[in-house]
Amino acid sequence: MTMDLSQEPLRKGINKIILLACDTDFVPILKEIREHNKMQVILYYFSDRQRNSIFSMSNHILTVCDEKILLTEEFFKCNLLVK
């Protein structure tokens, strides 16, 4: 089952989307839901700020979000569930 991100949240009364990503493939749909559907988009992302690393990302996705929260390496270390 797929969800139409541009329409389904409106039907369910959702007005804020929180996304954990760094892929610029999301840019067109995020731009649409912000501009046309007036939803707030919050992006959580991790970047090591090194070109060509597995965590490198385009800054383009940052331009289409209302709020951007950088997850640091310390965040992951502190929040690991160790058994």
pLDDT at position 66, please?
92
Task: Report the topology of domain 8-78.
Answer: Rossmann fold (3.40.50)
pLDDT at position 5, please?
63
- pTM of structure: 0.67
Distance, in Å, from the CA atom of 64 to the CA atom of 31, rounded to the nearest integer, reads 5
Domain boundary assignment for the chain:
8-78
Q: Tell me the pLDDT tens digit for each residue of 13-69.
A: 777 777 777 777 888 888 888 887 778 888 888 877 777 777 777 788 888 899 998
Q: Strand runs (DSSP E) across the chain, as ranges? A: 16-20, 40-45, 67-70
Distance, in Å, from the CA atom of 21 to the CA atom of 3, rounded to the nearest integer, reads 17
